[in-house]
């Protein structure tokens, strides 16, 4: 959520930054209009309350002086004032609710280093590794996974419909091994604290993380319990400290969690949905950082490195994109996408988005910190990144390490996590 003080004092700047991310600047005028009404009602209510308090103090003096009729007149007038104040307080509450609703729909402002404009204005900032060369026609991951019995796409669809897959045998082991490998890397090497979170969150939680209200159509929702299935572990890790004041001396906090993720992908019509490219349920390892405001952009670069360390260890070809403002997430001020090159489908597949949301989510979640005891509370900056998402990582691994005999070589770093195997094949590997 944006700081209302910034909108009041510098509305043209806010509009300019919203235009940079292709958002409607008219939202600023709507906020200012409602904010003015809210403040006017609040001021009127406070003035009447002050008058009521003054008059009430004088009633006792009038009674002591025997001026009962005047005292009764003041009491009657105070009752009318009380009714007026109650009505104003109700209007104040309604205007504040209206103001908050407007603010909750305004996206974060892009950082000055985020390229303005539409998606195609992205910048490639790094490419690492080389795409593999084959002396045979490389296969797509769905063919490899089916032939080796790693994934049963047909039965996954039978169980739950399109967009759901069924890992089995070595495929399930590969999935589990990758999760353990990434968690070990982020905890042992990068110093993250691991969490195992609930897979369903309250409305307050997903509202604080900025997944609501805008993205509710994309989320799976239990209407009876009013709980939302995780779209990622990010909202869970962020809400651990909702409505808390942290000790600034403990920052940064580095959290990591594995979770299954659920997304409706309601806007995916016409996109490539074959194999593992776009699914409704998938596994992901997520990283979140709580930092001092002045340290957050250095932390963003560290976060990118933490994510790419996974890919370097697995020997995969990847590139890092600095996204344009029109393509970053609702809560982000700056975002890098990390994409893997998948030779079987000859495409770059996103496996991680690394975002600095600055104080956008901490304001929504009322997450604050004090630099020292007794200091004024401030809002920390929150960052998040996939470290990484599994489906496209699995797809790229299968396509990158496929062999002429139909087997798939296992990268040395991953071998201990799949029972010491150096290859996956129909016989179970070796």
What is the number of helices (H) and of strands (E) in the chain? 12, 17
Residue ranges with strand state E in 72-219: 123-128, 151-152, 166-167, 193-195, 200-202
Give dist(CA 10, CA 31) in Å, integer.
13
Active site residue 207: no
Instruction: Please tell me which residue in 278, 319, 370, 371 is annotated as part of the active site.
Output: 278
Judged on CB neighbours under 10 Å (0-12, 13-18, 19+), 365 is buried
Q: Which residues pair with 257 in a beta bridge?
A: 195, 286
In 3D, which of 151, 186, 202 has the Cα closest to residue 172?
151
Give dist(CA 129, CA 107) in Å, integer.
35
Judged on CB neighbours under 10 Å (0-12, 13-18, 19+), 239 is buried
Active site residue 95: no
- Say which DSSP state 269 is in: T
Instruction: Please tell me which residue in 44, 91, 265, 350 is annotated as part of the active site.
Output: 350
Give dist(CA 42, CA 45) in Å, integer.
5
Active site residue 371: no
Active site residue 264: no
Q: Where are the alpha helices (DSSP H) in 333-404?
A: 360-365, 390-400
Terminal CA-to-CA distance of the chain, rounded, Å? 53
Give dist(CA 427, CA 23) in Å, integer.
54
Active site residue 278: yes
Instruction: Please tell me which residue in 17, 363, 364, 392 is annotated as part of the active site.
Output: 392
Residue ranges with strand state E in 184-308: 193-195, 200-202, 221-222, 227-229, 245-247, 253-262, 281-291
Instruction: Please tell me which residue in 259, 353, 355, 362 is annotated as part of the active site.
Output: 353
Inter-CA distances, 81 with 40, 75, 77, 271, Å: 17, 10, 6, 62
Residue ranges with strand state E in 184-310: 193-195, 200-202, 221-222, 227-229, 245-247, 253-262, 281-291
Inter-CA distances, 289 with 78, 136, 172, 197, 357, Å: 53, 44, 30, 16, 10
Q: Which sequence positions are flagged as catalytic?
A: 263, 278, 350, 353, 392
């Amino acid at each position: 959520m944006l700081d209302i003080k910034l909108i009041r004092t510098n509305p043209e700047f806010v509009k300019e930054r919203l235009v940079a991310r292709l958002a409607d600047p008219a939202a600023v005028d709507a906020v200012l209009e409602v904010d003015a009404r809210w403040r006017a009602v609040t001021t009127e209510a406070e003035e009447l309350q002050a008058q009521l308090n003054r008059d009430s103090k004088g009633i006792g003096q009038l009674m002591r002086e025997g001026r009962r009729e005047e005292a009764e007149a003041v009491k009657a007038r105070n009752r009318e004032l009380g009714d007026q104040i109650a009505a104003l307080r109700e209007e104040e509450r309604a205007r504040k609710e209206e103001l908050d609703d407007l603010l909750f729909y305004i996206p974060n402002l892009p950082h000055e280093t985020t390229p303005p404009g539409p998606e195609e204005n992205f910048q490639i900032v790094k490419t690492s590794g080389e795409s593999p060369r084959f002396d045979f026609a490389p296969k797509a991951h769905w063919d490899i996974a089916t032939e080796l019995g790693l994934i049963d796409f047909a039965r996954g669809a039978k169980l739950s419909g399109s967009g759901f897959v069924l890992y089995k045998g070595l495929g399930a082991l590969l999935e589990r091994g990758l999760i353990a490998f990434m968690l070990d890397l982020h905890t042992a090497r990068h110093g993250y604290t691991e969490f195992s979170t609930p897979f369903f969150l309250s409305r307050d939680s997903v509202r604080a993380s900025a997944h609501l209200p805008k993205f509710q159509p994309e989320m799976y929702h239990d209407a009876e319990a009013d709980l939302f299935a995780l779209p990622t572990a990010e909202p869970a890790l962020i809400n651990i400290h909702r409505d808390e004041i942290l000790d600034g001396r403990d920052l940064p906090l580095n959290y990591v969690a594995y979770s299954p993720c659920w997304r409706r992908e309601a806007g995916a019509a016409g996109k490539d949905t074959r194999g593992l490219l776009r699914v409704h349920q998938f596994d992901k390892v997520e990283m979140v950082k709580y930092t001092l405001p002045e340290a957050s952009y250095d932390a963003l670069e560290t976060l990118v490195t933490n994510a790419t360390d996974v890919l370097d260890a697995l020997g995969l070809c990847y590139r890092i994109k600095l996204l344009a403002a029109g393509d970053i997430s609702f809560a982000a001020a700056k975002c890098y996408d990390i994409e893997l090159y998948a030779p079987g489908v000859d495409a770059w597949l996103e496996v991680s988005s690394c975002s600095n949301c600055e104080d956008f989510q901490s304001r929504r979640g009322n997450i604050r910190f004090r630099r020292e005891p007794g200091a004024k509370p401030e809002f920390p900056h929150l960052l998040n990144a996939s470290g990484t998402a599994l489906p496209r990582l699995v797809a790229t691994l299968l396509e990158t390490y496929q062999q002429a005999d139909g087997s798939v070589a296992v990268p040395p770093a991953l071998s201990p996590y799949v029972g010491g195997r150096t290859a996956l094949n129909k016989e179970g590997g070796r």
